[in-house]
């Protein structure tokens, strides 16, 4: 069967690039860069794509480390999304070295499919996923206007064809008080740190009375200058998450009330802003997911359905899924005892299991591209998207 011949060719192509792809993943892992500063990772990925015949444009949507690499002409246009930013101090504890390399590997392996079946393959470099929302900028720049479908694969402890994601907004809050000698004249000061701690305590009380699928969490980024000075300034960053936009809006109001109440109680002045990068919930395209699942299973992987009881995060891939048919499956690279966003998970990304996950993710994505370029398939995918 022709499609099976193409898929075998894909697998062989990726295996032929095994050592180069693993080394690329190791390079990104060993040189972690924070969001919007991924200069080395972006350059390495772009170089690999150029060397394999892709036309590469850098600086997409005004983001210096974003890129768009294309091969082929006409439609369908299928985008494979690369992430490559790291976490502060932890490095690639979310496995974005695997995400970035698997996307470009799948794109290169898809060249032969495009040559045989037509259409175009796009490798889209999307920086700043960890809280900065680079894909939101790319969506707003209408870079997905001519894209027919998009996908990426995230490393995990489970093989899943879909993931759910919580809508997420970021709150930046500051309290301004009045400094004073903490022992000699504390009554003349206004304690901005007390205001922040009171806000934290209020949020802890609020958590008992919110839905089980919502999350509120944050950190204090400034708590004063010295213990013998009444803190005149405090600052914090909070993430507020919910499964849908309506509940997120309600929850944001309730969270802000915690800060407002702390300001009234202490006399400190509150300043706040909500970042204009709200992460959207994930809208999974189930036709794409079924194709991907079948391909991942053909590689010998045990694939499970998403289980919300095991937890959910947020991703700016959710924003992409609201404008174009999308999937965000996962690939297992570590046992369930290894938690994401930890040094242990970062180590797993460069283990043998991590390398296997990288190669299998690339194969499954490219094989799914082959399915999607079959006559009529992209029309069915679009119809499901429009119904949703």
**pLDDT per position as a tens digit, 317-351:** 999 999 999 999 999 999 999 999 999 999 999 99
Q: 159 and 74 share a domain?
A: yes
Beta-carbon neighbour count of residue 27 at 10 Å? Answer: 14
Residues 119 and 147 placed together within one structural domain of the fold: yes
Measure the CA–CA gap between 157 and 89, rounded to whole angstroms.
22
Residues 12 and 60 in one domain: yes
Rg (CA), the chain: 23
Last residue of a domain, one of 274, 297, 312: 274
**Which of 248, 274, 300 is where one domain is finished?**
274
pLDDT-derived band at 311, boundaries 50, 70, 90: confident
Positive or negative torsion for Cα 171, 176, 177, 179 = positive
The pLDDT of residue 388 is 76
* Residue reference for tokens 């391909």: 295
What average pLDDT does range 310-319 have in this prediction?
93
Look at the alpha carbons of 88, 93, 94, 98 in this order and tell me if their dihedral is positive or negative.
positive
Q: Do 210 and 108 share a structural domain?
A: no
pLDDT tens by residue, 144-185: 999 999 999 999 999 999 999 999 999 999 999 999 999 999
What's the total number of domains in the chain? 2
- 177 and 156 together in one domain: no
Provide the edge-to-edge strand list for the sheet that holds 119-125: 55-58, 67-73, 119-125, 77-82, 149-151, 326-327
**In a shared domain, residues 161 and 176:** no
What is the average per-residue pLDDT within 273-296? 96
Q: What average pLDDT score do residues 288-312 get?
A: 94
Identify whether 114 is preceded by a cis peptide bond (ω within 30 of 0). no
Per-residue pLDDT band for 192 (boundaries 50, 70, 90) equals very high
CB atoms within 10 A of CB 182: 16
Predicted confidence at residue 190, as pLDDT, reads: 98
pLDDT in tens, 229-246: 999 999 999 999 999 999
Q: Are residues 302 and 235 in the same domain?
A: no
Q: What's the pLDDT tens digit per position in 92-135?
A: 999 999 999 999 999 999 999 999 999 999 999 999 999 899 99
- My answer on whether 209 and 318 are in the same domain is no
Whether residue 184 sits in one domain with residue 145: no
Decide which of 274, 308, 333 is a domain's last residue.
274
pLDDT for 341? 96
Whether this model's pTM surpasses 0.85: yes
Cα angle 293, 295, 298 (rounded to 5 degrees) comes to 110
How far apart (Å, rounded) are the C-alpha atoms in residues 85 and 361? 18
Q: What is the CATH number of the domain that holds 239?
A: 3.30.70.360
pLDDT of residue 310: 83
At residue 1, the pLDDT reads: 62
Question: Is residue 243 located within the same domain as residue 147?
Answer: no
Q: Residue 290's domain spans which residues?
A: 2-165+282-387
| Whether pLDDT at 224 is above 80 | yes
CATH number at residue 303: 3.40.630.10
Distance CA 70, CA 58 (A): 12
Mean pLDDT over each residue of the chain, to the nearest integer: 96
Domain match, 289 and 240 both: no
192 and 138 in a common domain: no
């Amino acid at each position: 069967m022709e499609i099976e011949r193409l898929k075998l060719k894909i697998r062989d192509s990726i295996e032929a690039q095994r050592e180069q792809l693993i080394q690329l993943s190791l390079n990104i892992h060993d040189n972690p860069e924070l969001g919007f500063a991924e200069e080395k990772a972006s350059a390495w990925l772009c170089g690999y794509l150029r060397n394999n015949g892709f036309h590469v444009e850098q600086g997409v949507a005004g983001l210096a480390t974003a890129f768009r690499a294309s091969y082929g002409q006409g439609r369908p246009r299928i985008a494979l999304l690369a992430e490559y930013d790291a976490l502060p101090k932890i490095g690639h504890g979310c496995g974005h070295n695997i995400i970035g390399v698997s996307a470009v590997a799948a794109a290169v392996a898809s060249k032969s499919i495009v040559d045989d079946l037509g259409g175009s393959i796009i490798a889209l470099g999307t920086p700043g996923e960890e809280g900065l929302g680079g894909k939101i900028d790319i969506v707003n720049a209408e870079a997905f206007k001519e894209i027919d479908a998009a996908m990426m694969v995230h490393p995990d402890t489970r093989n899943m064809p879909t993931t759910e994601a919580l809508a997420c907004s970021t709150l930046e809050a500051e309290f301004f008080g009045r400094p004073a000698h903490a022992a000699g004249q504390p009554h003349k000061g206004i304690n901005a740190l007390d205001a922040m701690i009171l806000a934290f305590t209020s949020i802890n009380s609020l958590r008992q009375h919110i839905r089980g699928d919502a999350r509120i969490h944050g950190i204090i980024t400034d708590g004063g200058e010295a213990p013998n000075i009444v803190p005149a300034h405090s600052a914090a960053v909070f993430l507020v998450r919910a499964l849908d936009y309506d509940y997120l809006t309600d929850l944001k109001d309730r969270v802000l009330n915690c800060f407002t109440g702390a300001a009234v109680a202490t006399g400190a002045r509150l300043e706040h802003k909500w970042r204009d990068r709200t992460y959207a919930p994930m809208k999974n395209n189930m036709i794409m997911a079924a194709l991907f699942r079948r391909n991942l299973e053909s590689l010998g992987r045990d694939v499970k359905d998403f289980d919300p009881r095991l937890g959910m995060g947020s991703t700016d891939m959710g924003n992409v899924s609201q404008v174009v048919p999308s999937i965000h499956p996962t690939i297992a690279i570590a046992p369930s005892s290894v938690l994401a966003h930890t040094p242990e998970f970062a180590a797993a990304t460069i283990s043998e299991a991590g390398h296997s996950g990288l190669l299998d993710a690339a194969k499954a994505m490219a094989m799914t591209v082959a399915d999607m370029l079959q006559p009529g398939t992209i029309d069915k995918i679009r119809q499901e998207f429009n119904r949703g």
